[in-house]
Chain A
Amino acid sequence: MDFANVAGKIDMKRKRNWPIWAGFVIVLVGFFSYTFFFAKFPITRDFPWANLLLFCVGGILLLIGLFRAFGRPQVFRGKILASIFTIFSALMVGFFCYVFFYVLRQVPPSVGAPRVGQKAPEFTLPDQNGNAISLSDLRSGSRAVALIFYRGFW
């Protein structure tokens, strides 16, 4: 058996196409990091520029991987993988943009909300310790009340 020849064939194997993997991982990070990280900071929450930046970097790497796989198939592997990862990445970016730029904007108009100059409706509600607290309680002894309605922790 010609061992030199076998070794030579292994050396001649096509190279790994790392940009495909790197690009896909970066797109995944971009997809999940909004909820778990960037939404915590107002500067990256109000507009998801950090996530869009990650999508761009990931997309460029995926394109490089695609060009390598299809442009120089004798040198690089990954035609199928690059195609699958690119399709998944496009779906993730599309879904992210759909949620951020459409779903999150479906907020009721709240036309009947108290306006500037109107009296704020009085209320009494229990706090986290079960004590009843009213708006007049909050107003008394303070100069103003910042009332923050939020969606809840669930």
Chain B
Amino acid sequence: MRSFQQKLGEFDARGIRVVGISVDPPEVNRRQSQKRGYTFPLLSDPKAEVIRRYDVLHPGAGPKGADIARPAEFLIDSNGTVRWVNLTENIAVRARPEQVLDAFNQIGSVGQ
């Protein structure tokens, strides 16, 4: 997330909205955003409904066996079509902002 914040200017310049989703409640997201200086939205899905809808649930992997999201990244065009997906095989390895920007550049005129 930190690396996405650092490259946020490049996402803005291309008209890409960056948004995070986790099971954390809005209070935690507000605190963490302020602490870490994140200026993009962090959405709160405490019951993991959207996380389930995207089939990116990691059951029992959170504190006290809570269901949380596995790391996953989607690039969605302005029509709502998925254009790029990254489903990591190692929790520690996540998409870098450069990968998302490259994916966007390759798609070219997204949604046109």
Residues of A within 8 A of B (CB): 39-40, 42, 45-46, 100, 104-105, 107-108, 110-123, 125-130, 133, 135-136, 138-140, 142-154
Contacts and interface: CB of A to CB of B under 8 A. Distances in A.
Interface in B3-29: 3-4, 11, 14-24, 26, 28-29
Given A120-B80, A127-B43, A110 B55 contact: yes
Nearest to A105: B90
B110 A148 contact: no
Closest 8 CB pairs of A and B: A112-B55, A143-B15, A128-B29, A152-B22, A125-B43, A128-B30, A149-B69, A123-B50
Contacts of A110: 55-56, 70, 72, 87
Interface residues of B, number: 73
Contact of A116 (B16, B55, B57, B84): B84
B37 interface: no
A148 B19 contact: yes
Main secondary structure of the interface of A (DSSP, over half): loop
A143 B41 contact: no
B44 A107 contact: no
A130 B33 CA distance: 13
Interface in B36-79: 41-45, 49-51, 53-59, 61-63, 68-79
